[in-house]
Structure 1
């Protein structure tokens, strides 16, 4: 079950060729993908997309960069959606904290993130975290509300020290295009120092382009290139790394089938 554990295939960027994108991913041995929502505006869109494709699964949450003053009140609707535990639902997210681009002040972001973590614990689901320049806040939240089903720091780009703090709290690290840039030495070192059993493969399509593909739309098929870079970074056979990552996906997202 080698999948792209974080991509936004519901975005308009893929409206003209979504089926072709999925076929190209399968040809690259990327057998499926998890589609996180960004907020109420696309909850139904990701649900419908994943219901129409057997190789797609979804997560529901409110992204800090798309949050509003109404977001806390909208969690009641999110709770209702989660309570049915649809078969393709595998996580809560994308949620988190953003110290750069969120329209909400950090105290409100923290409360919104905390409430989504509590929902995840209530329904025994892992959490997909977006985190930017706010690691210390998220680490404090994880101590306050430990996650029963774990979670992943999506698009990890931090240091070895930050990685170790997340790993110590039971989280996985999402590995994407960042590691394909030689200048990203801090993140490459952190990823290579982490246990392979705690890494997940992702693209964040259509964003987070790989080195050599700057300015292009990112796609799930390029998760195979991230995997290739990771295997070289770890000096391990591609097939061995692929096997462990597949097991990681199934271990964290227990409802994959």
Structure 2
């Protein structure tokens, strides 16, 4: 069995076709899914997916929506985390890509991240972290808030040194669809060289694939690529990454 630890099944591109998406995933051996929210307006759609027995959800506000996020949105998130004790916190994080960002915009992202890390710590939930060109700031935010619940550094595309910093903060490293691009050298090196105990598999569907809709079934291709890069069997990749997912979700039965 394999798990897609990051798929946006509430997205309008995927949501109307869930029976077929689940069937295709099952045929590929992908039988569990973690679905994050990105803003308050999709909390309800993500919550609705929790009725599926193999779907685990996360609630949070993505850094792309930091400027529009209000205190009421954070209050809503806190209430929903209280009401849904099996929900992770995510997709949260920082996105510092692009020279057009102002210092004030980055500061607002950081403020929102810290507030959500504090909620996650309060409710003892792991997080799903978006990180683009912001590893040092994310590590600083984790240390500043005293966050200790772990989670996933999603869609990793950085250096081994960055990965080790994030692992030192208790995070697993999300290896995703970028790996299917033969020129993605940093992602491929991370998949090949990081300890397997610190790796998660994900698609970030429906995104990340050029000119086609990504789906959770592609986790199998990602797992096969990791196995090839490491020179080990697919069964070994599946066994260890599923153990990693079980550790991530252990809070649900604590």
Q: TM-score range by the shorter chain?
A: over 0.9
Kindly state the Cα deviation for residue 185 of structure 1 after the two structures are TM-superposed. Answer: 1.2
Structure 2 unpaired stretches of 5+: none
Kindly state the Cα deviation for residue 170 of structure 1 after the two structures are TM-superposed. Answer: 1.5
- Counterpart Cα distance in 2 of 1:70 and 1:169: 26
- Counterpart Cα distance in 2 of 1:226 and 1:81: 33
For normalisation by structure 1, the TM-score amounts to: 0.92
Kindly state the Cα deviation for residue 22 of structure 1 after the two structures are TM-superposed. Answer: 0.7
**Equivalent residues in 2 for 1:1-257, closer than 5 Å:** 2-51=2-51, 53-87=52-86, 89=87, 91-100=88-97, 105-209=105-209, 214-254=210-250
- Counterpart Cα distance in 1 of 2:131 and 2:196: 21
For normalisation by structure 2, the TM-score amounts to: 0.93
Q: Which deviations, in whole Å up to 9, do the C-alpha atoms of 1:7-61 show, x marking residues without a partner? A: 001111024422101111011110120110011100011101222x111110000
Kindly state the Cα deviation for residue 247 of structure 1 after the two structures are TM-superposed. Answer: 0.3
Kindly state the Cα deviation for residue 158 of structure 1 after the two structures are TM-superposed. Answer: 0.4
Structure 2 counterpart SS, 1:33:
strand
- Counterpart Cα distance in 1 of 2:42 and 2:177: 25
Q: How many pairs align? A: 250
- Counterpart Cα distance in 2 of 1:68 and 1:2: 36
Q: What is the root-mean-square deviation in Å for CA atoms of aligned residues? A: 1.8
Structure 2 counterpart SS, 1:13:
coil
Spell out structure 1 runs of 4+ moving beyond 4 A: 101-104
Structure 1 unpaired stretches of 5+: none
Is the alpha carbon distance of 1:179 and 1:146 closer, same or farther for their aligned partners in structure 2, counting shifts above 3 Å? farther
Contact 1:139–1:165 (Cα < 8 Å) also in 2:
yes
